[in-house]
Structure formats: C-alpha cells, structure tokens
Amino acid sequence: MNIKSCLFSVLLCLGLLLSGCSTRLTEGIVQKKDYSPAYITAVPMMIGETMTVIPQTYSASYRLLIDGTVENEHISEWVSVTPSEYEAISVGDHWKK
C-alpha cells in the first residue's frame, strides 16, 4: 500500500470516529449545569538528555445536561455552550440550539 492510500485510510477513519462526537439534541430541558475553570498542568518531558517541563493549558468549559427526544428516543446529553449562554439559563429551563 502506498503512502497516499495509507494517509487516506487514516483520515477516513478519523473522520468517521469524530463524526460520532457531535451532539444529537437541538433542544430540551436543562437538568444540570457544569462549569470547569481554566487551568494549567505541567508535563515533564525529556528533550535529548535534559528533563524539561512543558505547560499544558486547558480552557474553561461550560456545559449543560439536556433531556430531550431524537427520533422518538428519549436521551440525555451534555452540550457545550458559551459563557453568556451558561449564565442566562437555569436548571429546568428549555434550551434550544
């Protein structure tokens, strides 16, 4: 198998894998709210003979647990929202994408 075929196969598999990561709900009732603040971790790494620390930064996340229906199936799903959307909505409110 040549390089182009291998690369195409890998990209196709990644695309299929990541396509399942999107949320299915477009509206529903807010059951829970979850906020995680931004943070930084230090990851030790060897570069040649030298041990160094590489900072890893993580953004704040704002999520809502939504109960809704998709194709006549009741589901609960976490959805990411903006900080302003997060502040404007309460548990029990109707959420719409």
Token pair recorded at residue 37: 């603040």
* Cβ atoms 48, 66 nearer than 8 A: no
C-alpha to C-alpha distances, 13 to 9, 17, 22, nearest whole angstrom = 6, 6, 16
Q: pLDDT tens digits, residue range 56-87? A: 999 999 999 999 998 889 999 999 999 999 99
* Cβ atoms 35, 87 nearer than 8 A: no
Q: Please indicate, yes or no, whether the overall pTM of this predicted structure exceeds 0.85.
A: no
